[in-house]
Structure 1
Amino acid sequence: MAVFNLTPSEPSTFILPGIPGLEAAHIWISIPFSIFYIIGLLGNFMVLFVVGKEETLHKPMYLLLCMLALTDIAIPTSVMPKALCIFWFNLRGITVAGCLTQMFFLHVGSMTNSAVLVTMAFDRYVAICNPLRYATILTNARIAKLGLLGMMRAVLLALPVTLLLNRQPFCANHIIPHTYCEHMAVSIMSCGDTTVNRMYGLVLTFVVIGLDLTLIALSYGLIIRAVLRISQKEAHQKALNTCTAHICVMLTTYTPSLFTVLRHRFGQGITPHVHIILANLYFLLPPMLNPIIYGVKTKELRDKVGKCPCRI
């Protein structure tokens, strides 16, 4: 991680006012936000605890669930503690270094999360299309390497975003109308030419999401082709049921992500407070829902979660 140096003429801090226009309601807004955040943390830590404790769950699929849980902990944690400090204690200041660091970890978490979802799609493809070779193709070591590769990709792609902004001179007006350091909002604070920053951010978003969605679509295309070759309807249902949880998680992750990007780029008619609330919900709802989805749809995990409290 680079050290963020500031010249004396630049502001040492940014101001995050929270949700402009709704300052009087900050305490009330913080209640559902904190509840969603706590539920998400408890659910994802439960997944990590159960999978770590139960040796029968030390399999590639559950290792991927642990990776997903880690990203679902990291993403809201990079945003919510500061947002809650704004809502509860009116602590609105954040150093420029802290702002850029928050942005870096937010981008790394989001892109790693997307890489994990791609790996999950590949896992489902192998499980359905090559079930006899599943144990040899997808070992725990290979899954760990794919997870590390996804994180390295995220770091290498997110670092230029941070470094490009670090080189920009910031104007005297350093109020960021948001609850966290969002890339485009920080770019607007610069007095310099941010064309490269904006273009890189836009290309990065669509390349990462576009590439990952393409790989997922390819995996599911091959899965559907394999399923259609099966003659028994029961086998159809069983094969598709193994993908249900992953499909639901993808919908909770990519739908709000694409909506947020398109709204920020083209939704100038949306009022700022609605934009900020929806942006925060994007970081809160998927991490809260993902453990619930896998807990409901994965019988083996659900059974182990039910047994764990009895053993503690």
Structure 2
Amino acid sequence: MEVSSLGHNVSISYKEFLLLPFPGITLYRQILFVPFFTTYMLITVLNFLISYTIWREKNLHTPMYVLIGLLLIMNILSTNTVVPAMLLSFLGQNRIPLSSCLTQMFFAYSALILKSTVFVLMAFDRFVAVCHPLRYHNIINRNSLFQLWMVGIVRNSILVCVLVFLASRVQYCKSNRILNFVCEYVVLLSLACGDVSRAQLVGLLVRIGVTFSDVSILLICYLKVLHTALKVTGGTKRRKALRTCGAHLLVALTVYSCGLLSSILYKVEEFNSADSQNLSSVIYFLLPAVLNPIIYGIAVNEIRDCLVMPWRKKVKGQQMLGSQVVQR
């Protein structure tokens, strides 16, 4: 019988796992269904509402708003990849095969990396719009955006497939209990036998590489936008440019800050409990998906006006109908 250097029997490799989110809350596990189901519905409704508004309103069919809609669709994808399995686990249906676990990992990480790609495209779009306005339509168009998006998809596919492949080649003999609501790469490797330091290093390099490269491009673009807006653009155009870029930057910082906070909670010993790691996963996967549509719905005037316009028309129609009734 083969035994690993750690003393575990590696002839047994689990092919099915138990999702056990927030294991410290055992007595009230079913109660957790209510707040997380509410959060799930809130994320779905808010992100769908604004993305549908962008699709419905023809004046929003510009690259900037299309990218916002794409970001919100990624929020819906990542949420629907993670939350349904968590909700079922709260109700006792917590068995998940390894194949489903790896599939969930693929789509969850794909959505997260593609969000980062969208942030880079948003920054590049605003950089061209503010710094090179006369060349904007030559540089930013459907073909160029599609090509850049395909580059992002190829990058995403390569990186995520590497992680999924490494996770699929590992033998899991320590335990089949995943003390989390999502099959995260780090969590799965913690259940593996033998030396997984190389696999852990690859995961760390992927996360650092994507974050560092995308944040660097994003900051360079927005610093140039800020410099140009303050030096060249004046009046209403300056305020509009700064307001729009501010909304994009706030959303991007929200996502990257949540990722950084999640990583810190994983590493700090005082927060190294399973419940704390679950909380860090909530911050990483769910919190940005709630905040993104709220920020865009409030900070971007064009989106806010399109959201409010149907209600204004309805109220105005009711007022006119009421005044006609009074006159009669």
Of 68, 73, 84 in structure 2, the residue corresponding to residue 70 of structure 1 is 73
Q: Larger Cα Rg: Structure 1 or Structure 2?
A: 2
- Partner residue of 2:324? none
- Partner residue of 2:190? 188
Letter in 1 for 2:115: N
- Partner residue of 1:116? 118
Letter in 2 for 1:119: L
Letter in 2 for 1:159: C
Cα pair 1:33 1:284 within 8 Å, conserved: no
- Partner residue of 1:138? 140
Cα pair 1:296 1:302 within 8 Å, conserved: yes
- Partner residue of 1:46? 49
Q: How does 1:230-309 map to 2 (within 5 A)?
A: 230=232, 232=234, 236-264=238-266, 266-270=267-271, 271-307=273-309
Q: How many residues align?
A: 303
Alignment deviations for residues 224-283 of structure 1 (CA, whole Å, 9 cap, x no partner)? 22123238566543431121210110121010101112332x212213212212312331
Return the alpha-carbon distance in structure 2 between the equivalents of residues 229 and 307 of structure 1: 35
Return the alpha-carbon distance in structure 2 between the equivalents of residues 238 and 56 of structure 1: 16
- Partner residue of 2:320? none
Of 30, 33, 57 in structure 2, the residue corresponding to residue 30 of structure 1 is 33
Cα pair 1:64 1:143 within 8 Å, conserved: no
Return the alpha-carbon distance in structure 2 between the equivalents of residues 251 and 284 of structure 1: 15
Alignment deviations for residues 22-64 of structure 1 (CA, whole Å, 9 cap, x no partner)? 1222233332222222111111111222222222221101110
Deviation at 1:135, TM superposition (A): 1.9
Cα pair 1:125 1:219 within 8 Å, conserved: yes
Cα pair 2:174 2:192 within 8 Å, conserved: no
Return the alpha-carbon distance in structure 2 between the equivalents of residues 224 and 75 of structure 1: 32
Structure with the bigger RCO (C-alpha within 8 Å, sep 6+) is 1
Alignment deviations for residues 74-106 of structure 1 (CA, whole Å, 9 cap, x no partner)? 11111100001111x211211011111111111
Alignment deviations for residues 161-194 of structure 1 (CA, whole Å, 9 cap, x no partner)? 1111111111052111111111111001111321
Return the alpha-carbon distance in structure 1 between the equivalents of residues 279 and 17 of structure 2: 20
Of 175, 179, 185 in structure 2, the residue corresponding to residue 177 of structure 1 is 179
Return the alpha-carbon distance in structure 1 between the equivalents of residues 234 and 77 of structure 2: 43
Range with bigger deviation, 92-101 or 255-264: 255-264
Letter in 2 for 1:162: V
Deviation at 1:10, TM superposition (A): 2.5
Return the alpha-carbon distance in structure 2 between the equivalents of residues 210 and 156 of structure 1: 17
Cα pair 2:117 2:152 within 8 Å, conserved: yes
Letter in 2 for 1:223: V
Return the alpha-carbon distance in structure 1 between the equivalents of residues 120 and 275 of structure 2: 33
SS at match of 2:270: coil
SS at match of 2:280: helix
Q: How does 1:75-224 map to 2 (within 5 A)?
A: 75-87=78-90, 89-171=91-173, 173-224=175-226
Return the alpha-carbon distance in structure 1 between the equivalents of residues 223 and 128 of structure 2: 13
Return the alpha-carbon distance in structure 1 between the equivalents of residues 26 and 287 of structure 2: 23
Gapped regions of structure 2 (runs ≥ 5): 1-9, 315-328
Return the alpha-carbon distance in structure 1 between the equivalents of residues 249 and 233 of structure 2: 23
- Structure 1 residues 235 and 50, CA, compared in 2 at 3 Å: closer, same or farther? closer
CA RMSD of aligned residues (A): 2.1
Return the alpha-carbon distance in structure 2 between the equivalents of residues 281 and 255 of structure 1: 9
Letter in 2 for 1:303: D
Alignment deviations for residues 124-164 of structure 1 (CA, whole Å, 9 cap, x no partner)? 11121112222221112322322232122111100011111
Gapped regions of structure 1 (runs ≥ 5): 1-6
Letter in 2 for 1:258: L
Deviation at 1:115, TM superposition (A): 0.6
SS at match of 2:178: coil
Structure 1 stretches of at least 4 aligned residues deviating more than 4 Å after TM superposition: 231-236, 308-311
Cα pair 2:16 2:97 within 8 Å, conserved: yes
Range with bigger deviation, 249-258 or 239-248: 239-248
